[in-house]
């Protein structure tokens, strides 16, 4: 600091001191700050950051931008481009909007592009031709989900309702299938993870006698399609053979919309054959007996075997008690989830009376073979 500037600073300090401003607490603080600033001298000027540069596309002449958006982009792509910033919206959207008018295909394509960009909160429904906020958190599997399904049935938009199997509290809607495939094609945070399909359902039956079935579900994505696997197990421990057989014949438990564990229902097929009761036989032992549904892409493997109670469950000196153990593992192929009109998804929900599986393309056990032989594929681009 030069002598003249120091002298002027001291004169300023002397003037402030004569006004007795430092006698007050706040005055002393300002005096100290002023004294330090005078002794240190003026601060050096801070370099200003350079102004942000526009993206290269926005640096193009207006004529070039209009030419590219009108001659090389579809109306849906140009509309999606115009939604990226205000400048492009004012420049590109007026011309793109005219291309969307009365053009359902381009309007749908625009909504599909928006779903891909906003897939963490929205999903596109082909039945409504609209984007909907995501409301599904995966399939339901409890008594609460059954009550909500009965009270929230949408007769006007049936493709939004869940599909249920008799005797099970597992319910699945198309929205969950599409969201799972969106996560596969586009990655997180879009859609739903496959872990949302790993549930254990509660036993449910329409008859007074409820058998102690246990049912677990899981999901995998193979060949860019959604597969489900359900394992249903029944332990007959504590049940007499005739009592267990009578209870099974009285309930209606569906494996899919076309197959059940008993002959109740017009489209049901008995997958648990009953031998002659006159000889005291109520079940036929089998292990991993594989068969397929003729109406949808469902395979199942049945195991019926006698077992003995564990030693720690028996009292000392008693003979082990035999009981029947039944396991039914079913495999479902639901398709890519790109439309609610996908024949694979439609057949999963029944597909009407004319649903028929192509046994040449999908022979018996083909769905189970894909589940067991192939590893889950990584996310691919769609």
Tokens describing residue 119: 């897939």
Instruction: Considering only residues 153 and 145, tell me which one the structure prediction assigns the higher pLDDT.
Output: 153
Higher model confidence: residue 188 or residue 276?
A: 188
What pLDDT, on the 0 to 100 scale, is given for residue 169?
86
pLDDT score of 21: 47
Question: Within a 10 A sphere around the Cβ of 355, how many other Cβ atoms?
Answer: 19
Torsion of CA 361, 257, 160, 108, to 10 degrees: 10
* Beta-strand runs (E) in the chain: 122-125, 130-133, 163-164, 171-172, 199-201, 213-222, 225-235, 286-292, 298-308, 322-335
Q: Where are the domains of the chain?
A: 3-38, 56-117, 137-373
Q: Which helix (DSSP H) or strand (DSSP E) does residue 326 occupy?
A: strand 322-335
C-beta neighbour count of 227 within 10 angstroms: 22
DSSP 3-state of 284: coil
Q: Are the CB atoms for 282 and 195 separated by under 8 Å?
A: no
Rg of the chain (C-alpha set): 35
Find the mean pLDDT for residues 147-153: 49
Contact (CB, 8 A) for 140 and 169: yes
**For the ranges 127-136, 149-158, 258-267, 304-313, the one whose mean pLDDT is highest:** 127-136
- Name the percent of the chain lying above pLDDT 70: 74
Whether the pLDDT of residue 16 is over 80: the answer is no
Query: What's the distance, Cα to Cα, between the start and end of the chain in Å?
Result: 69
- Provide mean pLDDT across the span 106-119: 94
- 138-162: average pLDDT: 63
- What are the tens digits of pLDDT across the range 46-101? 777 887 888 888 889 999 999 999 999 999 999 999 999 999 999 999 999 988 98
Q: Is the pTM of this model over 0.85?
A: no
Is the pLDDT at 265 greater than 80, yes or no? Answer: no
The pLDDT of 240-255, averaged and rounded, is 87
Q: Evaluate if residue 232 carries a pLDDT over 70.
A: yes
Q: Which of 59-68, 80-89, 219-228, 318-327 comes out lowest in average pLDDT?
A: 318-327
Whether the pLDDT of residue 226 is over 50: the answer is: yes
Distance CA 138, CA 200 (A): 13
d(CA 111, CA 107): 6
CB 38 within 8 A of CB 13: yes
């Amino acid at each position: 600091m030069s002598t003249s500037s120091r002298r002027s600073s001291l004169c300023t300090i002397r003037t402030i001191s004569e006004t007795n401003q430092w006698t007050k607490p706040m005055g002393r603080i300002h005096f100290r700050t002023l004294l330090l600033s005078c002794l240190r001298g003026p601060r050096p000027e801070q370099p200003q950051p350079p102004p942000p540069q526009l993206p290269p596309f926005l640096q193009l002449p207006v004529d070039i931008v209009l030419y590219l958006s009108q001659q090389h982009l579809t109306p849906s792509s140009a509309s999606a481009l115009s939604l990226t910033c205000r400048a492009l919206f004012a420049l590109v959207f007026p011309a793109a909007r005219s291309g969307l008018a009365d053009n359902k295909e381009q309007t749908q394509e625009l909504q599909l592009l928006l779903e891909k960009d906003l897939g963490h909160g929205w999903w596109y429904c082909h039945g409504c031709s609209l984007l909907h906020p995501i409301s599904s958190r995966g399939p339901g599997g409890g008594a609460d989900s059954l009550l909500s399904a009965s009270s929230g049935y949408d007769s006007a938009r049936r493709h939004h309702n869940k599909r249920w199997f008799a005797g099970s509290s597992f319910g699945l809607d198309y929205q969950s299938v599409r969201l799972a495939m969106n996560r596969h094609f586009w990655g997180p945070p879009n859609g739903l993870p496959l872990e949302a399909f790993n549930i254990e359902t509660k036993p449910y039956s329409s008859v007074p006698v409820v058998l102690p079935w246990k049912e677990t579900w899981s999901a995998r994505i193979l060949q860019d399609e959604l597969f489900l696997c359900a394992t249903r197990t029944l332990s007959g421990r504590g049940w007499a053979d005739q009592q267990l057989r009578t209870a099974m014949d009285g309930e209606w438990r569906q494996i899919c919309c076309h197959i059940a564990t008993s002959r109740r229902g017009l489209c049901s097929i008995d997958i648990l054959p009953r031998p002659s009761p006159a000889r005291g036989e109520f079940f036929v032992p089998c292990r991993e007996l594989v068969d397929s549904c003729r109406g949808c892409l469902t395979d199942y493997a049945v195991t019926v075997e006698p077992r003995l109670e564990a030693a720690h469950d028996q009292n000392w000196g008693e003979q082990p008690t035999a009981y029947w153990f039944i396991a039914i593992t079913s495999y479902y192929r639901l398709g890519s989830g790109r439309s609610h009109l996908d024949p694979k998804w439609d057949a999963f929900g029944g597909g009407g009376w004319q649903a028929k599986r192509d046994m040449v393309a999908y022979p018996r056990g083909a769905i189970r073979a894909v589940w067991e032989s192939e590893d889950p594929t990584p996310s691919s681009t769609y």
